[in-house]
Structure 1
Amino acid sequence: MKIAILIDSSCGIKNTKDYKDLYLIPLMITKEDGQQIADDENLSTDEFYKLNDSQLLKTSQSIPGDVMTKWDELLKDYDQVVCLLLSKGLSGQFNTFRMFSQEDKYKDKIHVIDNNGVSIVIKRQLELVQKLIQQGKNGQEIRDIIETHYNDIHGYIIPKSLVQLVRGGRISKAAAGLAKILKITPILKYNGEIDKQGKTRTFKKAVEEALKLLKAMYPENKKIDISHSRTDEETINLVKKLVTDAGYEIGLLDDLANTIICHTGRETFAFMPFQIWGEELWK
C-alpha cells in the first residue's frame, strides 16, 4: 500500500522535498488590510518577521478547494493519504477537513488525524507516521495509534517578551508594564489548546518551573523537544543549559511555526516531552 502524508504549515516545514511522500497545504495569513498570504515556501522567514513586527497578523484555515484538489491529485498516485493538521483546539482546520474526508469519494482513503498537534509536535508525529508506514501500517491503523498516544499531551510555552500578547489584546498595556517592572514571565500550557498555567519572576525561573512540571507529569521521559521564535543566542544558550541541568537530553531544537508566532511573537519558547507514547512504537 502506498501512503502519502499531508501536513499544513502549522508544522513549520516549508520545503517538503527533503521528506519522502510528504506534501504541504498552507494556512493563510491575513494582513491588517485584509490581504491574505499563503504560509508556504514563497513566504520567507525574513519577510514573515518583517510583516509580523509591523502589524497584527491573523491566521485562517487552508482554502478547502485547494485541499480537496490536492487530495484528488495525491489519490492518483497513492492508495491513501494521512493528514497531520493543526490541532482542533487552535483552529477549525481539523473539523473542516475531517468532515470533507467523510464524503464517499474520500472515505477510507483520506485519514484526517485528531492529533492535538502544532509546530514541533507535528514534526515528531511526522517521524512516527513515517516509521509506521515502513512497518506496513495502513491509514486507519496510523490514525488510531496517533490519536491514542496524543490524546493527552502536555507541554509548556513561555513568551519572554509580552509585546505580541499586548498587541493581540491578550494582556493589557498596564499589566504588561507592571510585569516588565517586576520581571514577571507567564507560563502557558499546551494540551492541544493554549491556556494559562501560571507566572514567575524572571524568564529563567519560568523555564525551570516548566521543566519541573514536565518532570512531575512524565517522570520516565529523558528528552525534551524545544521550539522557539527569533531571539538572541544568549537566551538560546541559557535555555539549553537549563534543560541539560535539569537532567534532560535535548531532542529537536527548531523554529516555532508562523502560526504560533503570529500570536506570541519573538522570544517565545515551547517545551514538549519526547517519548510520551512509549518506546515500542519507535522500534
Structure 2
Amino acid sequence: MKIAILTDSAYDGKASDFKDLYIIPLMIAPEDGNQIYDDDSLNKDDFYKLLDSQSLKTSQSAPGDIMAMWDKLLVDYDQVIFAPISSGLSGQFNLARMLSETEEAYKGKIFVCDTKGVSIILQTVIRHIAFWIAENKTGFEILELVKELSSKFTTFIIPKNLETLKRGGRISSTAAALAKMLKIIPILRYNGSIDKENTARTYKKAIAHALNIIKKECKNIKVIDVAYSRFDQEDLDLIVKLIHDEGLTIGLYSELTNVICSHTGRETVALVGWRN
C-alpha cells in the first residue's frame, strides 16, 4: 500500500524532509482583507514586514484547495494521512475530518489526525508518521498512534515582545504597558491550545522556570526542541546557554512558523519536551 503524508504550513519544515510528504498552505490576512497563501511565495523577510506594520489574522485552507490536493494525491496513492495544525488553534482539523467522513470518495482513503501540533511539534509528529508508514502501518493504525503521541509533550511559549499580542487584542494596552514597566514576562503553556501558566520578572527567569517544569514533567529528559521567531543573536545565544546550563541538549532548532508568529510576534521562543 502506498501512503502519502499531507500537512499544512503550521509545519515549519520542508516537503523534501520526508519521502511522500506534501504541504498545503494556511492563509494569512492583513488588515486590507486580502488572503495571502502561507507558502514559499511569502518569504520570511516579507512576512516580518507585514507583521511589523499591522495586525495579522490567520485562517484555514479553503475546502476546495484541500479536496483538490486530496484528489491529486489519490491518483498516485492508496491512502493519505492528513496531519494539520492543532484543532485547538484552527478549524482546519474539524473541516478536513468532516470532508473526509461525508464525501464518499474519501472514506477509507483520507485519514485526518488531530496532531495537537504546530511548528517543531508537527515536525516530530510527521517524523513518526513517516516511520510508521515504513513499518507498513495502515491509516487506521496511524490515527491511533498519532493520538497517543500527541499527549506526550510539555511545551511553553514565552513572548519577550508583547507588541503583536497587544495589537491583535490578545492582551490589553494597559496590561502590556504595565508588563513592560515592571519587566513582567508571561509564560504560556501549549497543549494543543494556548493557556497562561505563570509570569516571571525577567526573560531569563521565564526561560529557567519553563525549563524547570519541563524537566519535572518529562522525567529524565536529555533533549529539548526549540522554535523561535526573530531575535537579536545575543538573545538567542542566551536561550541556548540557559538550556545547556540545565544539562539539556537541543534537538530540533527551527524558526517559528508564520501562522504562530502572526499571533505571538517577534522575540518569542517555544520550548518542547517529550515524555518517553
Q: Above 0.5 in TM-score? A: yes
Q: Is the 8 A contact 1:222 1:248 kept in 2?
A: yes
1:220: Cα distance to partner? Answer: 2.4
In structure 2, the partner of 1:234 is 234
In structure 2, the partner of 1:115 is 115
**Which runs of no fewer than 5 residues in structure 2 stay unpaired?**
none
Question: Which runs of at least 4 in structure 1 moved beyond 4 Å after TM superposition?
Answer: none
Q: Which amino acid aligns with 1:21?
A: D
Q: In structure 1, what is the Cα distance between the partners aligned to 2:82 and 2:198?
A: 33
Q: In structure 2, what is the Cα distance between the partners aligned to 1:55 and 1:183?
A: 24
**Which runs of no fewer than 5 residues in structure 1 stay unpaired?**
279-283
Q: Secondary structure at the match of 1:250?
A: strand
Once the two structures are superposed, residues 44-78 of structure 1 have per-residue CA deviations (whole angstroms, 9 ceiling, x without a partner) of 11111111111111000101101101101101100
Once the two structures are superposed, residues 188-219 of structure 1 have per-residue CA deviations (whole angstroms, 9 ceiling, x without a partner) of 00000001111010000000000011111111
| Equivalent residues, number | 275
Once the two structures are superposed, residues 120-144 of structure 1 have per-residue CA deviations (whole angstroms, 9 ceiling, x without a partner) of 1001111111111111111111111
Q: Which amino acid aligns with 1:155?
A: T
1:80: Cα distance to partner? Answer: 0.6
Q: In structure 2, what is the Cα distance between the partners aligned to 1:122 and 1:92?
A: 16
1:18: Cα distance to partner? Answer: 4.3
1:152: Cα distance to partner? Answer: 5.3
In structure 2, the partner of 1:96 is 95
Q: Scaled by the length of structure 1, what TM-score is found?
A: 0.94
1:149: Cα distance to partner? Answer: 2.1
Q: Is the 8 A contact 2:125 2:149 kept in 1?
A: no
1:270 aligns with 2:274: no
1:19: Cα distance to partner? Answer: 3.0
1:36 aligns with 2:32: no
Q: Scaled by the length of structure 2, what TM-score is found?
A: 0.97
Q: Which amino acid aligns with 1:230?
A: R
Q: Secondary structure at the match of 1:10?
A: coil
In structure 2, the partner of 1:214 is 214
1:153: Cα distance to partner? Answer: 3.5
Identity among equivalent pairs (%): 52
In structure 1, the partner of 2:66 is 67
Q: Which amino acid aligns with 2:38?
A: D
Q: In structure 2, what is the Cα distance between the partners aligned to 1:161 and 1:12?
A: 21
Q: In structure 2, what is the Cα distance between the partners aligned to 1:154 and 1:60?
A: 25
Q: CA RMSD in A?
A: 1.1
